[in-house]
Structure 1
Amino acid sequence: MTDEHEVRRTKGASWKSVYETLRNEILSLVLQPGQLLDETTLAERFDLSRSPVREALIRLSGDDLVVTLANRSTIVAPIEVAIFPKYVEALDIAQRMNTRLAAELRTDADLKIIARRQKEFEAAVKSGNHLVMSEANKQFHMAIAAAGRNPYLASFYERLLNQGQRMLHLHFEYLERTHDGYLLTDEHQLMLEAIRAKDVQRADELAHAHTRQFRDNFIDFMRENYTTDVELGLTQAAE
């Protein structure tokens, strides 16, 4: 797609379409971590004034996808490798608690939604589109959270899943390139079966293993592509 075509496609866009376009580009790593997002350049791209562009950037900041610096320039939020162990620690707790609650409290209607989300994730994997895959993965886990009936835990979990989507793309890329592991579908099915059986302990164990698999593959990706210092920082992730 040419730049000229892109401008024509987005001509007259509202802040919502600017937000959605930039969000997708950030999550799919088309816009790289640390990349400058200049309001004037974006306004020209979308054929808009700077006000709706600024509104879109504010919304993206609320999603922790962009950062405003001291000089008021805006960049794509870095992937903070140094704090990855803390991120995984929080993700593990949220994932286990929401999955445990789902196993305890789920209804038949919940099971149907979770199973449908799992089928959608399997279809997304077959598409090979990482953005579609990460969104489908999020929807699967949020269906589990909804079955847990705790909106506070679910909201915390959703924020963590949003923050981790770019890392999940790297996880997918690593697995596809190395064929070392699998793309979560088997684990999803096992989690669904544990929730269906109301096996709280099994659901907890699977949720924990699910987090570890993501963590270990992301660490392997970073070791393969980045420095020794990064590698040492990541080895502190909790078991």
Structure 2
Amino acid sequence: MEEESETRRAKGTGARFAYETIRDEILALTLGPGQLLDETSLAERFGMSRSPVREALIRLAGEELVVMLPNRSTIVAPIDVQAFPKYVEALDLAQRVNTRLAAELRSDADLRAIAARQREFEMAVKSGKHLAMSEANKRFHMAIAEAGRNAFLASFYERLLDQGRRILHLHFDYLERTRNGSLLTDEHGEMLEAIRKRDVARADALAHAHTRQFRDNFFDFMKENHAQGMSLEAPAPLT
């Protein structure tokens, strides 16, 4: 156990180590929505004082991954399914406009960067590790955003991608169980090809379809009741 602890601590120290470990476990749903995060227990687990744990939790609260309650308790942020349709509307607009701009403005260097991120995503899909998949997915879409040459839109898009990573974990799980997992990489490949051809209209349509599939798969996942025991609110009707 001591060797394992030392190996984990080697990845970072203090608040950074606590932050990265807790964040990864929240994104992977190892720490479920609504779960209590006890500073003392976490400090004992990581072999450190409560101060760096507290610092890590404050940082996570700033990213809306944890909620600090008035009674000084901290919980993993619930997933608000009622707000999900509005979230998807915002994600859809951001995804479409960034992908359109990339198709219009991309350079050859941008294409190489997007293609490299796509290969990384394919490798992550083959690994079957959802946390690696969500990280690679974000890098792919941010490479597209960077090709669009609008830092304000890219920043907004990045925030939305971060906010949706726990739901994306459920999306990956559902898609792998019910459909051919290659669909994940096929969609990205089609987006890359539209950007390569400077086909703005097709890039827009593919980005829109990509978001809608994410939305529909999440609610299909919810209908299977696999989220029982998690702090999930009932979904609002979709139009």
Kindly state the Cα deviation for residue 6 of structure 1 after the two structures are TM-superposed: 5.5
- Partner residue of 1:30? 30
1:183 Cα deviation from its structure 2 partner = 4.1
Aligned AA (1:218): F
Gaps (5+ residues) in structure 1? none
Q: Distance in 2 between matches of 1:28 and 1:232?
A: 22
CA contact (8 A) 1:222 1:231 kept: no
Tell me, what secondary structure is at the counterpart of 2:71? coil
**Aligned equivalent of 1:104:** 104
Alignment of 1:1-239 (within 5 A): 7-10=5-8, 13-179=13-179, 183-225=183-225, 233-236=235-238
Distance 1:6 1:66 in 2: 27
Change beyond 3 A, Cα 1:182–1:173? same
Note the alpha carbon deviations across 1:11-31, whole angstroms, 9 max, x for none.
Answer: 593111111111111111111
Distance 1:181 1:122, change over 3 A: closer
Letter in 2 for 1:69: L
Is the Cα contact below 8 Å between 1:115 and 1:192 reproduced in 2? yes
8 Å CA contact retained: 1:103, 1:195: yes
Closer, same or farther: CA 127–92 of 1 in aligned 2, 3 Å = same
Q: What's the offset of the Cα at 1:61?
A: 1.2
Q: Distance in 2 between matches of 1:33 and 1:6?
A: 27
SS in 2 for 1:72: coil
Q: Which amino acid aligns with 2:121?
A: F
- Comparing 111-120 and 67-76, the one that deviates more: 67-76
SS in 2 for 1:36: coil
1:143-173 CA-to-partner distances (Å, cap 9, x unmatched) read 0000011111111111111111111110111
Identify the range of structure 1 (215-224 vs 174-183) with the bigger mean alpha-carbon deviation: 174-183
The normalised TM-score by structure 1 is: 0.91
The CA distance in 2 between the partners of 1:34 and 1:65, in whole Å, is: 10
**Residue identity matched to 1:20:** E
How many residues align? The count is: 233
Cα distance change of structure 1 residues 198 and 126 upon mapping to structure 2, 3 Å threshold: same
Offset, 1:234: 4.0
The code of the aligned residue for 2:112 comes to K
Distance 2:4 2:170 in 1: 26
Could you tell me how far apart the structure 2 residues matched to 1:192 and 1:8 are?
A: 42
**Residues 223 and 231 in structure 1, CA contact (< 8 A), matched pair in contact too:** no
Contact 2:80 2:233 in 1 (8 A): no
Query: What is the TM-score of this pair, normalised by structure 2?
Result: 0.91
Aligned-pair CA distance for 1:72: 2.0
SS at match of 2:235: helix
RMSD: 2.0
- Give yes or no for contact 1:111–1:196 (8 Å, CA) kept in 2: yes
Question: Quick one: percent identity of the two aligned structures?
Answer: 71
Contact (CA 8 Å) 1:13, 1:48: kept in 2 or not? no
The answer to whether the 8 A contact 2:115-2:192 is kept is yes
